[in-house]
Structure 1
Amino acid sequence: MSSASATAPRTPWYQGFLSGLQKMGRSLQVPIAVLPAAGILNRLGQPDVFGADGLGWNNVAKVLAGAGGALLDAGLGLPLLFCVGVAIGMAKKSDGSTALAAVTGFLVYFAVLRQFPVGCSAGQAYTAAGLFSGVCVTPGGTTTAAAYQNPGVFGGIILGLLSAWFWQRFHRTKLVDWLGFFNGRRLVPIIMAGVAIVFASLCVWIWPPIGDALNSFAHWMSGQGAWGAAIFGVANRALLVVGMHQFLNTFMWFQFGSYTTGGVTYTGDIPRFLHGDPTAGQFTSGFFPIMMFALPAAALAIAHTAYPQRRKEIMGLAVSVSLTSFVTGVTEPIEYSFLYVAPLLYVIHAILTGVSMGVTWAFGVHDGFSFSAGVIDYGLNYSLATKPLLIIPIGLVFAVLYYAIFRFAITRFDLKTPGREDEDVDAAIVKD
């Protein structure tokens, strides 16, 4: 049999599945990139900045708080951002029509869910107060805001996936001539309107047990206190290996728990913290010592253990990625520098991240971020945090631990971190 007629080996199903999950994990970064804007706007709108306790510009504070709150809203803002972001990230060669299909589907889904209130108690009657809201009215005329099924960001993610799939499947479809105006890209939003009706109807039926199960798991983890925070920290870094840490983050950071202030309810560790919930921060606080201090120390250890002829080059790289981690909380440049060439170091890193999460929570540190645990978020949210000063000594201790452990492991086990690759040895031998 010739090579031309030979059948190429089929890719195992699990590789395709893993690749899809990794692509989705990257897609989740698209809406998350909006969160710094949400966090800054929300922070500037707080009473101690532009509000009554700060500059006294109350109307300016209202504008800024409203703008940030819209992006962080658990019912509409965040789910819509995730819906559009995932749709754009998952569709091959997507364009504006993908986003339009996602928005169309989401608005239909959102409105359908609002037709089935769940918050009115016995003796109360539901009265619609517009398309997207309503009130529960007692016989005496007292009204309270109605509640609805809220799959939150999970609902947005699923609609984003559906939008991407239907766009890919139908964006080149040709209809009969008299329906030609609706060919291709114009057809997908229409399809998504129908898909969203079906999906919303299913959510009314199946979301309560699913939501209860997820909340039970999250409450169990939260109830473990420092141990729960530590488990989250280890799992977060472990899932980063395959690009799926955002799956875990999404529920804990944007869905779990609730906090009501000013008549508005916020869910998730991050929105709750940014709106003043003193109990929030369990699943964010411990990242500050790691991202601001520990990982830059690890980068320094890698530079110091590089071969002499590469040390200057690696030191320049280490300074760059360390500043990125310290200032912005973006750690992937450091982590990926040793993740695959020295996985032992990454195992140590994942465990110590869990330790940091547990230690900060055990010491009563409550801190959070809008994007990541860098010095920008640390300074911006300092007055919202509880015991934020403790992050500095805790971080310095972890910096010493990371530097000592990384340096010892690299030299003791001859790990091939940047600057210690085999070709450097050969070059050194030739030079001698």
Structure 2
Amino acid sequence: MAKDAVATSTKKKRQIPGFSQMQRIGRSLMLPIASLPVAALLMRFGSADVLGADGLAKHASWMQPVADVLAGAGGAIFDNLPLIFALGVAVGYAKKADGSTALAALVGYLTFTGAGTSDKTQGGVLHALAPYFSQKTGVINYGVLGGIVIGLIAAKMYEKYRRTKLPTYLAFFGGRRFVPIVTAAASVVAGVIMAIIYPAFDWLFNKQVGGFIMAHGSNPGTGFVFGTINRLLIPFGLHHLLNSLPWFQLGNCTNAAGETLHGDITCFFSGASGTNAWTGSCMTGFFPIMMFALPGAALAIYHTAKPERKKLTGGVMISVALTAFLTGITEPLEYAFAYVAFPLYLVHALLTGSSLALCNALGIKDGFGFSAGLTDYIINFGRASELSGGPGKVLLLILIGVVYAVIYYVVFRFAITKWNLRTPGREDEGDDTTGRASVFDEAQLAASESTGKADAQKEGRI
């Protein structure tokens, strides 16, 4: 016990300052992101080429109202992503969160956006600051960044004030009821501060970085850098922070109503023709890797397992490979070799970057509402064909995926056998009898910690 305590203490001391907080923020983003698949499904079924005028409605006119309803329902989710992120991040980040956490985030987001309204009739902050920044009258569109900021504020207010006791005559407003009140006050201050710094933020992120993504996002070099860094951050649980920038914030387009939208995913599904030609550049290249390449790696891990462990390893690898192929969830498989064979994982990251670079070079445009698995590939085939200039390029992703599957299989099998890497099924002989967890068990634990599942279980949320 003493040794365990010392080891735990040493582990905590070695942590990079702020690293665990960044991981918590990254994990909290997964809750609002989980709402995207249903939005993507509704949008796709409501599209003109599926149930709309160019699809089933061409043969059955009564389907057009159905398509309109579905498209409107899905569009409502994308239109309110900042609010969804505020609620999701608050609940996902706060420890022992409950309904008052979400209510606080809702109240906070409404006061936050109200404080940044420059309409003269409402006396918003920006109107008063207009002489200093020459900002046009209107409501600031922070995108999901505003939602993330308010979600974190609401979570912190909940953790700090949920047990607050007030004098007897104000006791009704104590405890959890006090959280929305204090969050509203903090959000007004945040709204004022954000409004003041918004011109600089807008210039740096939306106009410069976002403009670069729109102008050069389809550049192979951009895809390579993003894809490589994306995979390298997975072992540290920080990839969600990186993903939220190009997928939900950087780059913009307009929807059919002329409203400005932000981010690769949002513009892929909701962007009007002529304003979203740049979309898909940070998503397309993941399809060959998640659907084909990583299952190829799983096959190599199975073939290199020790004879007495092949049956067990095969069952596990089939499970994680199918999960990656169908849904695009790859963490359980990637964690199986990320730590025990990091040089091999580095090769995986570079190959992922090369896949994004290749798809960008070929002008293939595809996207996903959840991840780059078969489900999203099929659902979004029509939309991808429209943006890619025809179905041929979208079908080419399958051929590219098969090639990458062969590359992964050869590279993984060679590296595992050449350097005797301790991948699942190749553990030392004593592992089963000394109480040590198997490599795959360790990988599952790491994956659950990365996705926030472990924390949610500890707090009783699942």
The TM-score normalised by the length of structure 2 is 0.81
Count of matched residue pairs:
397
TM alignment of 1:10-409, pairs within 5 A: 11-12=12-13, 14-15=15-16, 17-56=18-57, 57-73=63-79, 77-113=80-116, 115-116=117-118, 147-215=138-206, 216-220=208-212, 223=216, 225-263=219-257, 264-275=259-270, 277-385=276-384, 386=388, 387-409=393-415
Q: Structure 1's 42 and 127: CA in aligned 2 closer, same or farther, altered over 3 A? A: farther
Indicate the SS of the match to 2:18: helix
Offset, 1:340: 1.0
**What's the CA shift string for 1:381-421, capped at 9, x where partnerless?**
10111221110111111001000000000011111000111
* 4+ residue runs over 4 A deviation: 8-11, 424-427
Looking at structure 2, the residues matched to 194 and 166 of structure 1 have their Cα atoms a distance apart, in angstroms, of: 10
- Does structure 1 retain, via aligned residues, the 8 Å contact 2:209–2:250? no
**What's the CA shift string for 1:54-94, capped at 9, x where partnerless?**
22222222211111111112xxx111111111111111111
Indicate the SS of the match to 2:368: coil
Looking at structure 1, the residues matched to 11 and 175 of structure 2 have their Cα atoms a distance apart, in angstroms, of: 31
Looking at structure 1, the residues matched to 224 and 430 of structure 2 have their Cα atoms a distance apart, in angstroms, of: 38
Offset, 1:146: 6.7
Looking at structure 2, the residues matched to 205 and 261 of structure 1 have their Cα atoms a distance apart, in angstroms, of: 28
Offset, 1:226: 0.8
Q: Structure 1's 365 and 343: CA in aligned 2 closer, same or farther, altered over 3 A? A: same
Offset, 1:111: 2.2
Looking at structure 2, the residues matched to 10 and 241 of structure 1 have their Cα atoms a distance apart, in angstroms, of: 17
Match in the other structure for 1:121: none
- Does structure 2 retain, via aligned residues, the 8 Å contact 1:226–1:358? yes
Q: Which has the higher helix share?
A: 2
User: Residue 392 of structure 1 aligns to which amino acid in structure 2?
Assistant: I
Looking at structure 1, the residues matched to 238 and 11 of structure 2 have their Cα atoms a distance apart, in angstroms, of: 25
- Does structure 2 retain, via aligned residues, the 8 Å contact 1:221–1:229? no
Looking at structure 1, the residues matched to 409 and 137 of structure 2 have their Cα atoms a distance apart, in angstroms, of: 54
Q: Structure 1's 318 and 101: CA in aligned 2 closer, same or farther, altered over 3 A? A: same
Q: Structure 1's 127 and 180: CA in aligned 2 closer, same or farther, altered over 3 A? A: closer
Offset, 1:176: 0.6
Q: Structure 1's 381 and 210: CA in aligned 2 closer, same or farther, altered over 3 A? A: same
Indicate the SS of the match to 2:254: strand
Looking at structure 2, the residues matched to 17 and 205 of structure 1 have their Cα atoms a distance apart, in angstroms, of: 26
Looking at structure 2, the residues matched to 221 and 231 of structure 1 have their Cα atoms a distance apart, in angstroms, of: 12
**What's the CA shift string for 1:192-230, capped at 9, x where partnerless?**
111111111111111221232223234335526110011
- Does structure 1 retain, via aligned residues, the 8 Å contact 2:42–2:71? yes
Q: Tell me which moved more, 240-249 or 282-291.
A: 240-249
Looking at structure 1, the residues matched to 355 and 186 of structure 2 have their Cα atoms a distance apart, in angstroms, of: 44
User: Residue 52 of structure 2 aligns to which amino acid in structure 1?
Assistant: G
Looking at structure 2, the residues matched to 300 and 147 of structure 1 have their Cα atoms a distance apart, in angstroms, of: 55
User: Residue 58 of structure 1 aligns to which amino acid in structure 2?
Assistant: Q
Identity of aligned residues (%): 48
- Does structure 2 retain, via aligned residues, the 8 Å contact 1:149–1:208? no
The TM-score normalised by the length of structure 1 is 0.87
Indicate the SS of the match to 2:253: strand
Looking at structure 2, the residues matched to 238 and 213 of structure 1 have their Cα atoms a distance apart, in angstroms, of: 25
User: Residue 351 of structure 1 aligns to which amino acid in structure 2?
Assistant: L
Looking at structure 2, the residues matched to 248 and 200 of structure 1 have their Cα atoms a distance apart, in angstroms, of: 24
